[in-house]
Copies of this chain bind each other. A is one copy, B any other.
Amino acid sequence: MTSKVYPDAAASLEGLLFQGMTIMAGGFGLCGVPENLILALRNSGVMDLTVIGNNVGCDNHGMWHVLTNGQIKKVLASYVGENKVLEQLYMNGGIEIEFNPQGTLAERIRAGGAGIPAFYTRTGYGTAVAEGKETRQFQGEWHVMETGLTADLSLVKAWKGDTEGNLVYRKTARNFNPMIATAGNVTVAEVEELVQPGELEPDQIHTPGIFVQRIFKGTQYVKYIERLTTRPRQAAAAGEAH
């Protein structure tokens, strides 16, 4: 019987990469990012990628590595701040970016994974986002038609996963990973802990294994914090207002 388990990121990408392909990657900012897979993608040198994700890394981290290696031709994202290389490339016309409202991007990916070719949303009506798109009224309100998104390859990061590909995410590291897992022609998952079937509670699995074709235990997670915000311990009483 074929196993979904691979020894590392490089092995897990073997045979999946080709020039001009579309790749989705999970993460919000640098939270819940498939760090090992992104480095293996950089090391592969595969070119002319279209990359779909909420962000495209930030300076020195995440998808920034693939970007600065000149491998990305086009980006679909909702926010690309804190990434000087990308901003510079974009302003110089060195890269194409299609900006999507964050919720529209999330829903387009969910739709792609769920076999829904298009849906309507109020988001973006009357703005640049609606340009060139079909608009239409439902119950007197204007909506924009948005299409589902799929990818040749989806890269996701989970906290725990079992050898069957069942995944559990941790806190806000969940973000775009669950939808992206459903929208890849092939989905590869990296996990902090790889466990045996039966160790994850069936009621608490966020991504069922059907969506994951390959899985491996990631290593050396950096989990870089973009904006470390803390409060001094003595200010506890005041800080707990909400």
Interface residues of A (CB under 8 A from B): 107, 111, 114-122, 138-139, 141, 143, 147, 168-171, 174, 201-204
Copies of this chain, complex-wide, total 2
For residue A114, which residues in chain B have a CB less than 8 angstroms away from its CB? 107
Are A204 and B204 touching (Cβ within 8 A)? yes
In the complex, residue of chain B having the shortest beta-carbon distance to the beta carbon of A206: B203
CA–CA, A8 to B118, complex, Å? Answer: 42
Are B116 and A203 touching (Cβ within 8 A)? no
For residue A201, which residues in chain B have a CB less than 8 angstroms away from its CB? 204
CB distance from A165 to the nearest CB of B (A): 18
Could you list 8 examples of A-B contacts with CB < 8 Å? A111-B119, A115-B121, A115-B122, A116-B120, A117-B138, A117-B139, A171-B203, A174-B203
Are A118 and B119 touching (Cβ within 8 A)? yes
CA–CA, A170 to B201, complex, Å? Answer: 11
Are A116 and B117 touching (Cβ within 8 A)? no
In-complex Cβ contact of A116 among B107, B202, B204 (8 A): B107
CA–CA, A206 to B240, complex, Å? Answer: 26
In-complex Cβ contact of A170 among B111, B121, B174, B203 (8 A): B203
CB distance from A140 to the nearest CB of B (A): 11
Are B118 and A138 touching (Cβ within 8 A)? yes
CA–CA, A141 to B170, complex, Å? Answer: 38
CA–CA, A117 to B203, complex, Å? Answer: 30
CA–CA, A138 to B168, complex, Å? Answer: 34
For residue A203, which residues in chain B have a CB less than 8 angstroms away from its CB? 168-171, 174, 204
In the complex, residue of chain B having the shortest beta-carbon distance to the beta carbon of A159: B203
For residue A119, which residues in chain B have a CB less than 8 angstroms away from its CB? 111, 116, 118-120
CB distance from A66 to the nearest CB of B (A): 28
